[in-house]
């Protein structure tokens, strides 16, 4: 065991867009010595992991868990006991169906200090990026967030009767694979088949798509358009506002994913401008400027400088140039 105890930060990374990562989350991430990250964390956010930090992928996909929850808990404990600053980087918010509480239990039992850095949940951000306000004075005064995930071979544990009678907006996370059961459950509980509903795929990313249809037709329409995961399901009158308030797809570079190869210290400004225009960016620096150390190269540069008087025009292609 290290002489000095480490510490763990549970950081919510938001739904994908790096612009939705909180300032505190980014600051903690950039100071990490070990990062344990999930499948749904945006690539641009992962590229902010410090070069010298240990990066551990524990991402979970349906039917393909790289690490069990118990193994993830153990990894966090082990890295903290090594004296490291450990960031547990989770998509969305760590305390909203993120098993954040489970991961803290083992740390607390061993006296490991920790902090929680809340994140922007996809339950609010993804509808917003699709022009759907989850509450609206004329349509819904409450919002209910439900997990649509179920274990293989088991039925959904959802009180559809209460949801159908509640009158608020329903947001189902991790529910695409359970879409048929969700639709049938709500209809059987008395929710009208013409209730507006939506399936929102890959929200806040270049691959964002949405299907808006009546509840009774939602499954068929989502199937026709090939909607996949990750996606969330929204049910309620607010869904019919999507076409009116949709804004993200109106940006000129919506749907484009752009690789930015500029040096890391000069890439952020360009990336920000591209994101403002609706693009999803991936920073992958392929250029590095370093001091010249080779004597032969220095001599060639010296010869070139001596010949500058032979030219009428000198063009620089970059600030570094």
Per-residue pLDDT for 1 more than 50? Answer: no
Of 17, 79, 84, 174, which residue is the catalytic one?
A: 174
Q: Which tens digit of pLDDT belongs to each residue from 26-72?
A: 999 999 999 999 988 999 999 999 999 999 999 866 555 578 999 99
Query: Can you give the length of the chain in residues?
Result: 321
Q: Identify whether 38 is a catalytic site residue.
A: yes
Lowest mean pLDDT among 107-111, 255-259, 295-299: 295-299
Per-residue pLDDT for 297 more than 90? Answer: no
Q: Which residues of 54-75 are buried (b: 16+ CB within 10 A; e: fewer)?
A: eebebebeeeeeebeeeebbeb
Of 7, 60, 67, 240, which residue is the catalytic one?
A: 60
Helix (H/G/I), strand (E/B), else coil: 41:
coil
Q: Are 25 and 119 in contact (CB under 8 A)?
A: yes
Q: Which tens digit of pLDDT belongs to each residue from 198-214?
A: 999 999 999 999 999 99
Instruction: Give how far the C-alpha of residue 65 lies from the chain's centroid of Cα atoms, to the nearest Å.
Output: 18
pTM over 0.95: no
Question: What does the domain layout of the chain look like in residue ranges?
Answer: 7-120, 123-249, 255-321
Q: Identify whether 60 is a catalytic site residue.
A: yes
Q: Identify whether 174 is a catalytic site residue.
A: yes
Per-residue pLDDT for 97 more than 60? Answer: yes
Of 38, 90, 93, 191, which residue is the catalytic one?
A: 38
The class of domain 123-249 in CATH terms is alpha beta
Q: Which tens digit of pLDDT belongs to each residue from 113-161?
A: 999 999 999 999 999 999 999 999 999 999 999 998 876 667 788 999 9
CATH number, span 7-120: 3.40.1010.10
pLDDT at position 293: 76
Helices 179-188 and 215-224, packing angle to 10 deg: 170
Cα–Cα–Cα angle for 270, 44, 287, rounded to 5 degrees: 55
Per-residue pLDDT for 273 more than 70? Answer: yes
């Amino acid at each position: 065991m290290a002489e000095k105890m480490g510490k763990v930060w549970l950081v919510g990374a938001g739904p994908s867009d790096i612009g939705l990562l909180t300032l505190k989350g980014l600051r903690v991430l950039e100071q990490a010595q070990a990062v344990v990250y999930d499948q749904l964390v945006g690539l641009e956010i992962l590229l902010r992991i410090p070069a010298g930090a240990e990066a551990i992928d524990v991402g979970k996909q349906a039917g393909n868990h790289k690490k069990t929850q118990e193994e993830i808990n153990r990894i966090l404990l082990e890295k903290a006991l090594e004296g490291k600053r450990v960031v547990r980087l989770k998509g969305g918010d760590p305390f909203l169906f993120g098993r954040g509480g489970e991961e803290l239990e083992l740390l607390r039992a061993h006296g490991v200090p920790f902090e929680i850095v809340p994140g922007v949940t996809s339950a609010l951000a993804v509808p917003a990026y699709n022009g759907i306000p989850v509450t609206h004075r004329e349509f819904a005064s409450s919002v209910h967030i439900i997990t649509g995930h179920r274990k293989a071979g088991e039925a959904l544990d959802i009180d559809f009767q209460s949801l159908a009678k509640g009158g608020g907006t329903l947001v189902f996370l991790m529910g695409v694979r359970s879409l048929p059961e969700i639709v049938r459950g709500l209809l059987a509980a008395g929710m009208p088949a013409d209730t507006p509903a939506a399936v929102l795929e890959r929200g806040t990313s270049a691959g964002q798509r949405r299907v808006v249809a009546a509840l009774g037709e939602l499954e068929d329409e989502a199937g026709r358009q090939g909607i996949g995961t990750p996606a969330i399901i929204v049910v309620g009158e607010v869904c019919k506002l999507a076409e009116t308030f949709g804004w993200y797809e109106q940006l000129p570079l919506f749907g484009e994913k752009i690789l930015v190869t500029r040096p890391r210290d000069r890439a952020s400004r360009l990336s920000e401008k591209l994101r403002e225009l609706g693009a999803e960016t991936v920073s992958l620096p392929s250029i590095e400027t370093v001091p010249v150390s080779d004597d032969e190269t220095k001599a060639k540069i010296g010869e070139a400088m001596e010949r500058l008087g032979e030219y009428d025009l000198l063009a620089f292609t970059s600030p570094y140039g």
